[in-house]
Structure 1
Amino acid sequence: MQQTTSQPSDEVTNIYDTYADTLFRIAMVHLGRREDAEEATQDTFIKWMEKAPAFNDAEHQKAWMIRVITNHCKSLLRKGWRKREVKLEAVEPITLDNSEDRALIELVLSLPVKYRSVVHLYYYEDYGIRDISKILEISESAVKMRLQRGRQLLKLELEGEEQP
């Protein structure tokens, strides 16, 4: 079946190209597995196409997409099958040129989800505290506290690695 106009397809392609990498990275931070992150990203775009919400601007659209994928990841993590699943030892490694960057990202990924998501949005996606608060639907003070605790955990881990 052919479409009579190419505009909807072009819009979907443009939105996908704009947000897919960001959404995938957020899902990886939450879920930790490529397959789950890909599925969550796909589900987010499906929800966007089904709901077809009206946005004030590009930032509003990006915040909506991030909120949807964050909530979807939280929902997946609450499901019982995730708790019973056995992780494979041969997980695809993070490919970075700099071993220090790789080690830091692995440390961030080892944080508990509530700290990991805030640290990721703040440092890797360049969101401010107010924006993170809106995206995750938590108070600004909660964002600040999670950032502080996440930094403390990272500092403890980094200091532990330096000592022989």
Structure 2
Amino acid sequence: MLGTEEFKLLAEKHMDMIFRIAFSFLKSQSDAEDVTQDVLLRLYETDYVFESQSHIKNWLAKVTCNECRKFWRRLPHKQKNISDYADRLAFEEKSYQDLFTAVMRLDKAKRIVVILYYLEGYQIHEIAELLEIPQGTVGTRLARARKELRKYLEDEVSI
């Protein structure tokens, strides 16, 4: 089990990543916050010995994906409105907000791959391992997501 100080440092370092992954799955700020708390609780209670910082990050990403799947199964399936959350984010440029909105319009399978690849910096093979899907599927989802993002940004945002 982690010491209190070690846990605090790890929680501060990885909380944003956990939240981004959870939000990309669930599209709800409050649900993502709940999952973030659950993941951090799992981290605090784990007896697992981590070999490195990247090992901790990968473990947290995997646990976050699994917690989101469990949470998703319990939810009544309804479309979440992301505009409330997007408006609260402090984007320096409108183009970032437009891009965020476009990413959040993607279906869940493409959205999570985009978040893990572009925001969290995971490689395709790492995403495949985290999501337990073939590498080719990850590549296909990324390609399709890029195409959808390009079309949305050209049509809706007039880039």
Q: Secondary structure at the match of 2:51?
A: coil
Is this contact kept in 2: 1:122–1:132, CA < 8 A? Answer: yes
Sort the Cα spacing of 1:55 and 1:130 in 2 relative to 1 into closer, same or farther, 3 A.
same
Question: How many residues are paired up?
Answer: 155
1:69 is aligned to 2:64: yes
Q: Which has the higher contact order (CA 8 A, sep 6+)?
A: 2
Q: 1:124 aligns with which of 119, 126, 130?
A: 119
Matched, 1:91 2:91: no
Percent of aligned positions that are identical: 31
Residues 1:106 and 2:101 are matched in the alignment: yes
88-97 or 118-127, which deviates more: 88-97
TM-score (norm 2): 0.88
Unaligned runs of 5+ in 1: 1-6
Q: 1:158 to 1:39 in 2, by over 3 A?
A: same
Task: Give the alignment partner of residue 60 of structure 1, picking from 55, 63, 85.
Answer: 55
Change (3 A) 1:60 1:87: closer
Aligned pair in 2 of structure 1 residues 87, 115: CA closer, same or farther (>3 Å)?
closer
Return the letter of the residue paired with 1:155.
R
Matched, 1:139 2:154: no
Moved more, 68-77 or 49-58: 49-58
Q: Which residue of 1 aligns with 2:41?
A: 46
**Matched position secondary structure for 2:77:** helix
Q: 1:17 Cα deviation (Å)? A: 1.1
What is the distance in 2 between the residues matched to 1:30 and 1:89?
12
Contact 1:76/1:82 (CA < 8 Å) preserved in 2? no
Runs of 4+ residues over 6 Å off in structure 1: none
Q: Secondary structure in 2 aligned to 1:53?
A: coil
| 2:32 aligned partner | 37
Structure 1 equivalent of residue 14 of structure 2: 19
Distance in 2 of aligned mates of 1:17 and 1:115:
27
SS in 1 for 2:90: coil
Q: Give the number of the structure whose alpha-carbon radius of gyration is greater.
A: 1
Q: Which runs of 5+ in 2 are unaligned?
A: none
Give the Cα–Cα distance (whole angstroms) in 2 for the partners of residues 42 and 162 of structure 1. Answer: 35
